[in-house]
Structure 1
Amino acid sequence: MLFDTHVHLNVGQFDEDREEVIRRAEEAGVSNMVVVGFDHETIPKAIALAEEYENFYAAVGWHPVDAVDFTEKELAWLEELSAHPKVVALGEMGLDYHWDKSPKDIQKEVFRKQIRLARKVNLPIIIHNREATEDIITILQEENAADIGGIMHCYNDSTDYVNACLDMNFYISLGGPVTFKNATLPKEVAKMVPLDRLLIETDCPFLAPHPNRGKRNEPAYVALVAEKIAELREVTVSEIEIATKQNAFRLFGLEGKDVKHANITEL
């Protein structure tokens, strides 16, 4: 059974057929998902989906592209949300130097504030990184992120940085790009990451794996990610499925966790 550690079923691309998408995921063997909220609109929807589906969980954080909109009010809201029994991580958070909506200095400060909150509430963090690897690693080190660890979400960087991430108690999560024919870096990473630190994801509706590249991604396709990693590592698909699910349960602290519903206010 598969654990998709990063889905955005809470976005508008799934409004017309969300239940059918979830059914297809179940038929493909996807037993668990983390729904990631990243702004005012998607965070409450992530919580709602986690409450509605027993094997869904939520992560809540503030996307770096929108860092300019982040205030102390949002920080306090995230702290409240962190107490929800189905919130298993804070994020996605990080740095994104591709888009220019939020200045780099503001992104860095919002990133630091969320790491400090995660350490305060003792939750792992999910890292969004786009063209900012060295700054992200520096901030994680300076903010003692190793105390909580987390996920390098949809890792698509050089193998040179993998050990630095592992040393800070981070897991490496791979998604659709590992299946792309011209993507060499994620393939190299897939072969080198220790099996007990590997996770899989779709990041749906984005980054659909081959042969669905360019189409809307959905959680059922995480099976294609597992199959490609198994091929690259020359192991069985079952071995990848079991290891990545165990890793996710360990990271998110799900073994024996009470997931009764709780009422959390919207901002």
Structure 2
Amino acid sequence: MLTDSHCHLDRLDLSKSDKSVEVALDQAQARGVSRFLCVCISDENRKAVLDIAAKRDNVFASVGIHPCDVGEQVVSDATLTEWSSAPKVVALGESGLDYFHSTDFVAQQKQSFANHLIAGKAQKLPVIVHTRNAKEDTLALIEEHGCREASGVMHCFTEDWDMAKRAMDLNFYISISGIVTFKNAESLRDVVRKTPLNYLLVETDSPYLAPIPYRGKPNMPAYVREVAEYVADLKGVSYDALAEVTTANFLRLFNRAQ
């Protein structure tokens, strides 16, 4: 069975039905997707994420602040530790650094990311990392504050092989989204070919970044199947083998989901 290691179920545009998230998850399960990690990006959506996870045994949650949601006030490691005690929480984040969208709060982004890593180390919880245009700072903060035992994942990876290798040297996993299917993503496909199977995860990042043939439409958890099939082909393994190993990787990293 397959796992969607990163999705934003609270942001699915499914307003036609008050049970639409349930329908979306049922559709994914019908395609062999057995587990889902619903990811928090702010204090504002934390309750919605936890509520969704509470309703189904196979949905898990993270808690944290996305770098683009960081402002003047930075979440403390103590607050993150408190949040992480909620039922179904298996990770912190997504956190990280994003210098692509804004450099207004770089110092605050760094402190927020460090606090996620500090709390993760203390709680033995993996950290979900978002990074854009911030390669060296991201790796430096992981080296300074991260924890090899709990480690984390470079989510929706789009960086180069050097960053992937250095992240894996820190015991961080590499998660691949539908971007890998895009025509202009050959450098990412090269990273996938080089990355050992035991460090790979697959995700949708839904409702964003739908894979081909759904590009331009809202992404759905069911579409992680297309990502997995594409990655399996790049790795020269069967879909079933890819699903099995990425799910095993998910359960090893997010061990509270076992």
Please give the TM-score of this superposition, normalised by the length of structure 2: 0.93
Moved more, 97-106 or 153-162: 97-106
Paired with 2:140 and 2:119, the residues of 1 have a C-alpha distance of 18
Please tell me whether residue 180 in structure 1 is matched to residue 168 in structure 2. Answer: no
Aligned residues: 255
Task: State the partner residue of 2:53.
Answer: 50
Letter in 1 for 2:142: L
- Whether the 8 Å CA contact 1:64–1:102 is kept in 2: the answer is no
- In the alignment, what sits opposite 1:7? 7
C-alpha distance in structure 1 between counterparts of 2:41 and 2:77, whole Å: 12
Q: Which runs of 5+ in 2 are unaligned?
A: none
Matched AA of 1:236: S
Query: Aligned pair 1:79/2:81, yes or no?
Result: yes
Q: Quote the residue 1:21 is aligned against.
A: 24
Q: SS at the partner of 1:172? A: strand
Q: 1:139 to 1:101 in 2, by over 3 A?
A: closer
What are the within-5 Å matches in structure 2 for residues 61-210 of structure 1?
61-72=64-75, 75-100=77-102, 102-210=104-212
Superposed displacement of residue 234, structure 1 = 1.4
Query: 1:77: Cα distance to partner?
Result: 3.7
Where does residue 242 of structure 2 map in the other structure? 240
1:77-112 deviation per Cα after TM superposition (whole angstroms, max 9, x unaligned): 422221234110001000011122742111111111
Contact 1:70 1:110 survives alignment (8 Å) = no
Closer, same or farther: CA 6–84 of 1 in aligned 2, 3 Å: same
TM-score by length of 1: 0.90
Q: CA deviation at 1:225?
A: 0.4
Distance 1:147 1:140 in 2: 13
CA distance in 2, matches of 1:159, 1:206: 24
The answer as to whether partners of 2:12 and 2:207 remain within 8 angstroms in 1 is no
* TM-aligned CA deviation for residue 208 of structure 1: 0.4
Deviation track 1:140-173 (CA, whole Å, cap 9, x = no partner) reads 1121432421100011111111111111111110
Farther-moved stretch of structure 1 (223-232 vs 137-146): 137-146
Q: How far off is 1:11 after superposition? A: 1.9
- The percent identity for this pair of structures is 39
SS of equivalent to 1:13? coil
Residues 15 and 81 from structure 1, CA distance in 2 versus in 1: closer, same or farther, beyond 3 angstroms? Answer: farther
| Cα distance in structure 1, aligned partners of 2:159 and 2:95 | 17
Shift of 1:75: 4.7
- Which runs of 5 or more structure 1 residues have no equivalent in the other structure? 258-267
